[in-house]
Structure 1
Amino acid sequence: MDGNPLLHVQFPSTAALEGLKTFLEGDLIRELKEPKAGILVARDPITNDIVSYARWDDPPSGGGQDGAKLETGELRNLKGCRREFLERYAALAGETKKRAVGDTPCYHLTFVCTDPMFQGLGAGTLLTRHILMKAKADRMPVYLESTLDAVHMYERLGFKRLDKMQMGIPQRGGDPDELSELYEEVCMVWWPDETSSSVIQA
């Protein structure tokens, strides 16, 4: 996630980013032990280390029903966090999801993250395809917010662009109070229809 400019606005210092990394590692370990949402991991076959993981709200299993984003929880209290950018993002994401799917029950894919050393090998795609198969079995759509560099990957898997969200952020290395850069994410939905099923099996 290091290439995401919003991340560096929300956690602008090296110490803040280290705090975020520690928090996310602990959060992932807690979820693996006591899942409150759907979670899948891909492991290195030699070291057994986790190299990629995907996380989603899973209504059929009772997980993630409150729809709360990570940005609205304890993450806001991390030292060095610029809370206003976390809260603005969470509010925009909630509004955009409401416009896109309303109250329709859906899987909300919140994270697909791969260790940079293992990117490009298909781990994230494999995990996402598995989630699509689960959603198809439950006859539920899958919703996500995608960074611009991942949109085409999701389109190849059958996701359709429905909306987008934008917010002004400070430019990296610039004035931290000047909103001189436009950050954008694309909101996408995959529907469990016949067209999408062929993409899963590809």
Structure 2
Amino acid sequence: MNYIFSLRACNTMPLRLYPAVPADANRISEIHMAAFASNAMLLAQFPTPEVRVGLRESIRLKALADIDDPKVSVLVVREHPFDPDSPNTTGAEDGSNQCPGVVREREMEESAPRGIIAFAKWSHPVSKDVDYEEAAWAWPAGTNMRILNGWVKAAEEGQEEAVGDRPCYRLTFMGTDPAHERRGAASMMVNWGLEQCNKDGVPGYLESTLEAAPFYEKMGFAASVKISMRYLIEGQDQSEMYEEIAFVYRPGST
């Protein structure tokens, strides 16, 4: 699930793209909860404030596992003092497909304390004949597993229809601190993945909210399948319909 928010930040400090390090996991979890706080599916799956406190810890632990996984790239965007010669800074959400470079490992330790404003997780292509299983989530007590499992099944079916069993880069999660939207962070993180798709000659895949769809279309993705699920609101007799769109990026399409 990927979300684009509308609040504009007043800070114009340039941004740089980094691979996440373990010390970033808590901030990733904080941004995730702030960015997705009003998402209807999240609220249905994790229906009380107490459950959502547990979810934040689940996100932190999953981020730690993903950062340590060689088949997953967790990216973060940090504010950085202005450097006019840096190739991986940006100041506008312009939708261009020039991928800014990721800061090298030798620079990470020195730069890690800088403020993170956004994160993304890209799962790498894995062939079905490869013995690999991504680290499992540890869901908090009180999670509505019926709704969660129902949505996971719907999303898996959507991906199967969109790309079949072909290995692909998958943008699993992306979030920006709502106070720092429209500064270019989302484009930087998406462009990183598109460069990998073009380099390796494999598709890119993601599931987007309806509101975020124009952003991904601008970035070069094509809408493929609508994913939907009707669910009962906890404690009520009425039901709601939740929808997202599966998007596919084809190498060389931009």
- Once residues 232 and 144 of structure 2 are traced to their aligned partners in structure 1, the CA distance between those partners, rounded to angstroms, is 11
Which of 242, 249, 252 lines up with 1:183 in the alignment?
242
Which of 177, 191, 197 lines up with 1:129 in the alignment?
191
Is 2:54–2:141's contact at 8 Å kept on the other side of the alignment?
yes
TM-score normalised by the chain length of structure 1: 0.82
- TM-superposed deviation, 1:29: 3.0
Q: Pairwise mapping of residues 75-114 of structure 1 onto structure 2 (< 5 A)?
A: 75-76=138-139, 78-114=140-176
- Larger helix percent: 1
- TM-superposed deviation, 1:23: 1.4
Aligned equivalent of 2:182: 120
- After superposition, the C-alpha distances for 1:138-178 in whole angstroms (9 at most, x for unaligned) are 1111011111111111000011111011111345xxx5353
What secondary structure, in the 3-state scheme, does the structure 2 residue paired with 1:74 have?
coil
- Specify whether residues 145 and 79 from structure 1 end up closer, same or farther in structure 2 by C-alpha distance, changes over 3 A only: same
Aligned length, in residue pairs? 187
- Once residues 13 and 21 of structure 1 are traced to their aligned partners in structure 2, the CA distance between those partners, rounded to angstroms, is 13
Q: For residue 154 of structure 2, what is the amino acid of its counterpart? A: L
Aligned equivalent of 1:200: none
- Say if 2:71 is the partner of 1:21: no
Is 2:172–2:206's contact at 8 Å kept on the other side of the alignment?
yes
- Once residues 131 and 155 of structure 2 are traced to their aligned partners in structure 1, the CA distance between those partners, rounded to angstroms, is 16
- Once residues 133 and 246 of structure 2 are traced to their aligned partners in structure 1, the CA distance between those partners, rounded to angstroms, is 16
TM-score normalised by the chain length of structure 2: 0.67
Q: CA RMSD in A?
A: 2.5
Is 1:143–1:190's contact at 8 Å kept on the other side of the alignment?
yes
- Once residues 137 and 32 of structure 1 are traced to their aligned partners in structure 2, the CA distance between those partners, rounded to angstroms, is 22
Is 2:67–2:73's contact at 8 Å kept on the other side of the alignment?
no
Aligned equivalent of 2:80: 45
- Once residues 126 and 164 of structure 1 are traced to their aligned partners in structure 2, the CA distance between those partners, rounded to angstroms, is 26
Is 1:96–1:187's contact at 8 Å kept on the other side of the alignment?
yes
- TM-superposed deviation, 1:2: 1.2
- Once residues 181 and 67 of structure 1 are traced to their aligned partners in structure 2, the CA distance between those partners, rounded to angstroms, is 33
16-25 vs 29-38, greater mean Cα deviation: 29-38
Q: Which has the higher contact order (CA 8 A, sep 6+)?
A: 2
- TM-superposed deviation, 1:80: 1.5
- Once residues 132 and 112 of structure 1 are traced to their aligned partners in structure 2, the CA distance between those partners, rounded to angstroms, is 14
Over the matched positions of the two proteins, sequence identity in percent amounts to 32
Aligned equivalent of 1:74: 137
What secondary structure, in the 3-state scheme, does the structure 1 residue paired with 2:76 have?
strand
Q: Any unmatched runs of 5+ in structure 1?
A: 197-202
Is 2:228–2:243's contact at 8 Å kept on the other side of the alignment?
yes
* Larger radius of gyration between Structure 1 and Structure 2: 2
- Specify whether residues 150 and 28 from structure 1 end up closer, same or farther in structure 2 by C-alpha distance, changes over 3 A only: same
Is 1:44–1:50's contact at 8 Å kept on the other side of the alignment?
yes
Is 2:207–2:246's contact at 8 Å kept on the other side of the alignment?
yes
What secondary structure, in the 3-state scheme, does the structure 2 residue paired with 1:94 have?
helix
118-127 vs 11-20, greater mean Cα deviation: 118-127
